[in-house]
Amino acid sequence: MLKVGDIAPAFNLLGVDEKGSELEFSLKSFSGKRVVLYFYPRDSTPGCTTEACDFRDNLARVKKTNAIILGISPDSPKSHLRFQEKQNLNFPLLSDPDKKIAELYGAYGEKKSFGKTTLGIIRSTFIIDASGKVEKIWRKVKVKGHASEVLLALENGE
């Protein structure tokens, strides 16, 4: 299980940038910046929309901490583009269709929903420091207030 201080697992994923262009993204390309990497189950669902919009609304403050936001879900870049356009999202969304990157981060596995145990994306957020090490981890995220928690951690250098 990934923990604070570990080197963040590298990735190369297709995604949609803040302008709606489909590109390949790699963690390495953000070297020198802090990265807020958050895993979410599905585009355009109530909780995922709330979380994405909270990050969207706080992006200016995030950027002041030399950080960027990247959202990752199993959805396709085409789905990400529709979600991004509908919600006016201003940060990249990356596609992890086989959930391999989510597995590396411990953001895929068993979870309980309505009394049933299923396999799926476990809503999780990681702050990766400018040198590529995991700085902070939130697992099994509750959407309400989460973006504010992340912002506080960024601003306080946690």
Decide: 123 and 141 in contact? Cβ < 8 Å: yes
48 flagged as catalytic: yes
CA distances from 120 to 54, 83, 141, 152 (A): 23, 20, 14, 28
Catalytic entry in 8, 35, 37, 48: 48
Q: Would you state the structure tokens that stand for residue 5, as one six-digit string? A: 């201080």
Q: Strands 124-128, 116-121: parallel, antiparallel or unpaired by DSSP?
A: unpaired
Catalytic residues: 48
